[in-house]
Structure 1
């Protein structure tokens, strides 16, 4: 996968673009507190689709649980790796600087304008200085929007309700979408991404999920009984 290759040797593939010391877009302060989305919270967010897939298949496809869960999970992961690869390709090719780049890299900007060959105060081989060049576009935003939109479509296909329970499904779907947007907000608030990085990431993730569901793997969201019924109808309609 492109993401694995690029991250294995960032110094070889990353576009080391220069910086304008007078550009305030890259002169945001480095936040002293840990990022809003830490590793633990990110792991929990990524577990949400898996949990909902498991619960959904238990209640709607119990007799074929292993087969159906495997199909949904592998399709979801294929799209997730595709989304991440597209994002990393853009990150490394563009090499856009993060809003806090000057603070992270500790660039000496005294009486300077454009610097084509940026020299950080510490070794450039360290990960933070490469990561500070990977702003466009937001991986967190693209990944979480893909995950949540895919899960929203899954809930739409699996969850049936009547009476007052018909409100549960849209409420769950709305919460998932709000979670995706909130993750994007945190990246801007933590000075990790520019606003346009987040917006493009959200659009890419949502569009890829739409393609996965409606054009690439629509049969994944059908129950086994629905697939068999569809096959029978096609057989009866055939010559």
Structure 2
């Protein structure tokens, strides 16, 4: 009886928290952004208005389906042996599917919420602002600054919400989350590393295409796309690092467990802090002079990680910090 009660409490708290995030995001999306003016000579907001190459609906549907399909198929593959050997009333594969989907949903809606906070707080004008807004009733100062104006176009919705890019943050979150999910779940399986890496590169490529499209469509400045990408990247890392459920292969819904948190943190530490480029002669000879440059250091470790089956134990964190600053 107690496991049933614990499971009900777990599911209720999970779903309640997800609903709270959705409600918060809905409120944030209806909050007016900070109203900032513009300079008449500002060329960065004079680009022509273009329709979306990738609409919000397409983004939400495709990203959600990618997460759902990847997790369901992945957990079925991982649990295939257990499915053949056990005869539970509820298939054991449903538990890790639920766990992973809850973690993915939390990060997904957290990304949307943090993005909306940035949009409301900064109120940055989009690159196509003047063409889409067609401001009237201008009150221009001597320096050419327009503080008070009225948009005469019906395309003025969201023109003050350029930073950060919501499309990019969601796309990059989805890509990085799925890359790390595949790495965590299949790092010790017989799945070919090349197949795993191929899927991971596809996810990353799709995320980058979304970001590029926002610049091409004049919906965002390049810095908006960069900010959205970094936000999605770090939310994905934090979600899998701190939430305990991904990788739990038990046959019941677990409650919060410190040992599972520790296990996930050890796995993520191997992903983030192990210097894999030392085992790659190609990278060592081509990029040896750049080993201490932070972006290259991170990229080499990340991309070499996803093609490595059995990573060595991570060094202490202070060793990683010393390598970054020296």
User: Considering the TM-score relative to the shorter chain, is it more than 0.5?
Assistant: yes
Corresponding residue for 2:69?
Answer: 51
Q: Does residue 236 of structure 2 align to residue 217 of structure 1?
A: no
> Do the aligned partners of 1:84 and 1:143 also contact (CA within 8 Å) in 2?
yes
> Do the aligned partners of 2:136 and 2:149 also contact (CA within 8 Å) in 1?
no
Q: Does residue 230 of structure 2 align to residue 203 of structure 1?
A: yes
Distance 1:111 1:119, change over 3 A: closer
Instruction: Tell me, in whole angstroms, the C-alpha distance in 1 between the residues paired with 2:238 and 2:159.
Output: 31
RCO comparison, higher one (Cα < 8 Å, 6+): 1
Tell me the CA shift for residue 108 of structure 1.
Answer: 4.8
TM-score w.r.t. length of structure 2: 0.61
158, 161, 182: which is aligned to 1:155? 182
Q: Deviations over 1:103-147 (max 9, x none)?
A: 11012599952110121114xxx6x42311100000111111111
Corresponding residue for 1:41?
Answer: 58
Q: Deviations over 1:155-199 (max 9, x none)?
A: 11223336xx32100111111111111110000010001000001
Instruction: Tell me, in whole angstroms, the C-alpha distance in 1 between the residues paired with 2:248 and 2:182.
Output: 12
Corresponding residue for 1:235?
Answer: none
What's the Cα RMSD here? 2.5
Q: Does residue 40 of structure 2 align to residue 21 of structure 1?
A: yes
> Do the aligned partners of 2:49 and 2:131 also contact (CA within 8 Å) in 1?
yes
> Do the aligned partners of 1:139 and 1:201 also contact (CA within 8 Å) in 2?
yes
Structure 1: where are the runs of 5+ without partners?
232-239
Corresponding residue for 1:117?
Answer: 148
113, 117, 120: which is aligned to 1:92? 120
Q: Deviations over 1:187-233 (max 9, x none)?
A: 0010001000001111111111111112x1144224338x99x78xx
SS at match of 1:119: strand
SS at match of 2:156: helix
* Count of aligned positions: 217
Q: Deviations over 1:22-80 (max 9, x none)?
A: 1011010012xx31112553222331111010101112124412211111111111111
Question: Radius of gyration: which is bigger?
Answer: 2
SS at match of 2:211: helix
More helix by share: 1
Distance 1:60 1:116, change over 3 A: same
Structure 2: where are the runs of 5+ without partners?
1-20, 84-90, 261-326
Q: Give every structure 1 segment of 4 or more consecutive aligned residues whose post-TM-superposition deviation is greater than 3 Å.
A: 108-112
